């Protein structure tokens, strides 16, 4: 997971400062064909890119609406996928409205996945993976399980949210449901790996040996960093289906494992690489 923080301190929701005790997580998607985080998050931190249209949510009431979520998942300016935290996790968000049984705003941490045209399988795979890792992290932090994760449309059926279709207008297009998503988060919590976003989990294999070995890049664009962690500067990028040799592994923030490229260009997150 590539987790960043850019709190929306000018949003009226943030300024209200109400706290919650998180009892669940609610997944949303934006409903706009725009996968770029800068569409919603500002100011530019050097990697988001600048929002020049005034559409971002770091303003009192974006578009005159009472809206604010805890995080967005989408593309940075270089095309790589990231999660951007926009509210403290225990702050009451404005993300789902209410229903006859109350409001998920009072109980649930929320995140929005930035939609694209809904047909790009590679983009879906990347944001799905990022979302499942975010949920696993939040479950550990707040003592939740995969059973505490719902989407907006499920919240409506439970009577705690307004009538929205997300994310079930998108996930089934790529062979996924919320039950499958919860199962993948459960696997992460158990220390395993989630199923591929478009296929069932592969049969278990013997643990591979250490470096050197070759990897194929498994996301549209992946940052190369000076060291093993998201705190290191970006030196370049690699692209989907390119093959590289990893000569060293290391632990570091932002990934389960980092790999140093034989070329000397730097380190990449092995979460987005397939071993050959």
**Fold for domain 213-275?**
SH3 type barrels. (2.30.30)
Integer CA distances (angstroms), 44 to 7, 23, 89, 253, in order: 12, 32, 21, 22
Q: What is the pLDDT of residue 207?
A: 45
The percent helix, strand, coil of the chain (3-state, each to 5) is: 25, 25, 50
Output the CA angle 112-115-118, nearest 5 degrees: 140
How large is the average pLDDT for residues 4-27? 97
Averaged pLDDT of the chain: 91
Residue-wise pLDDT for 213-222, tens only, equals 999 988 888 8
Integer CA distances (angstroms), 162 to 28, 103, 139, 257, in order: 12, 9, 24, 39
- Is the pLDDT assigned to residue 275 strictly greater than 60? yes
How large is the average pLDDT for residues 198-224? 67
Residue 117 — φ and ψ, nearest 5°? -80, 5
Residues β-bridged to residue 273: 217
For the chain, domain boundaries = 3-189, 213-275
How large is the average pLDDT for residues 192-198? 53
Q: What is the pLDDT of residue 263?
A: 87
- Is the pLDDT assigned to residue 75 strictly greater than 90? yes
Q: What is the pLDDT of residue 221?
A: 81
Residue-wise pLDDT for 124-161, tens only, equals 999 999 999 999 999 999 999 999 999 999 999 999 99
How large is the average pLDDT for residues 252-267? 89
pLDDT above 90: percentage of residues in the chain: 77
The structure tokens listed for 178 are 């919320």
81: closest CA among 187, 219, 268?
219
CATH class of 3-189: alpha beta
Please state whether the peptide bond connecting residue 167 to the residue before it is cis, i.e. omega within 30 degrees of 0.
Answer: yes
- Nearest-angstrom CA–CA distance, 107 and 91: 10
Q: What is the pLDDT of residue 208?
A: 57
DSSP 8-state class, residue 38: G
> What count of residues does the chain have?
276
- Is the pLDDT assigned to residue 234 strictly greater than 70? yes
Q: What is the pLDDT of residue 237?
A: 87
Q: What is the pLDDT of residue 204?
A: 37
Residue-wise pLDDT for 237-251, tens only, equals 888 888 999 999 998
Which residues, 6 or more positions from 95, have their beta carbon under 8 angstroms from its beta carbon?
Answer: 26, 28, 67, 68, 69, 70, 104, 105, 108, 110, 112
DSSP 8-state class, residue 75: E
- Is the pLDDT assigned to residue 95 strictly greater than 60? yes
Q: What is the pLDDT of residue 192?
A: 63
Which residues, 6 or more positions from 257, have their beta carbon under 8 angstroms from its beta carbon?
Answer: 249, 250, 251, 269, 270, 271
Q: What is the pLDDT of residue 86?
A: 98
């Amino acid at each position: 997971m590539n987790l960043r923080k850019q709190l929306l301190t000018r949003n009226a929701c943030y300024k209200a400062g109400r706290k919650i005790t998180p009892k669940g997580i609610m997944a949303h998607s934006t409903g706009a064909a725009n996968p770029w985080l800068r569409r919603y998050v500002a100011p530019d931190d050097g990697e988001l890119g600048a929002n020049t249209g005034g559409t971002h949510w770091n303003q009192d009431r974006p578009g005159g609406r009472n809206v604010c979520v805890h995080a967005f998942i989408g593309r940075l300016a270089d095309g790589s996928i990231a999660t951007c935290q926009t509210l403290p996790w225990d702050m009451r968000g404005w993300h789902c409205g209410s229903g006859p049984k109350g409001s998920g705003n009072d109980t649930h941490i929320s995140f929005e996945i930035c939609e694209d045209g809904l047909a790009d399988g590679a983009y879906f795979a990347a944001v799905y993976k990022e979302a499942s890792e975010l949920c696993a992290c939040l479950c550990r932090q707040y003592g939740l399980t995969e059973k505490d994760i719902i989407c907006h449309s499920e919240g409506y059926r439970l009577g705690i949210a307004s009538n929205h279709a997300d994310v079930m207008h998108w996930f089934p297009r790529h062979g996924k449901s919320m039950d499958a998503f919860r199962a993948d988060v459960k696997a992460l919590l158990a220390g395993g790996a989630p199923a591929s976003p478009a296929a069932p989990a592969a049969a278990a294999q013997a643990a591979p040996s250490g470096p050197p070995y070759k990897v194929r890049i498994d996301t549209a664009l992946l940052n190369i960093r000076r060291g093993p962690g998201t705190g290191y500067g970006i030196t370049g990028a690699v692209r989907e289906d390119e093959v590289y040799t990893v000569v060293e592994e290391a632990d570091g923030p932002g990934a389960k494992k980092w790999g140093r490229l034989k070329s000397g260009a730097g380190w990449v997150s092995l979460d987005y690489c397939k071993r050959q």
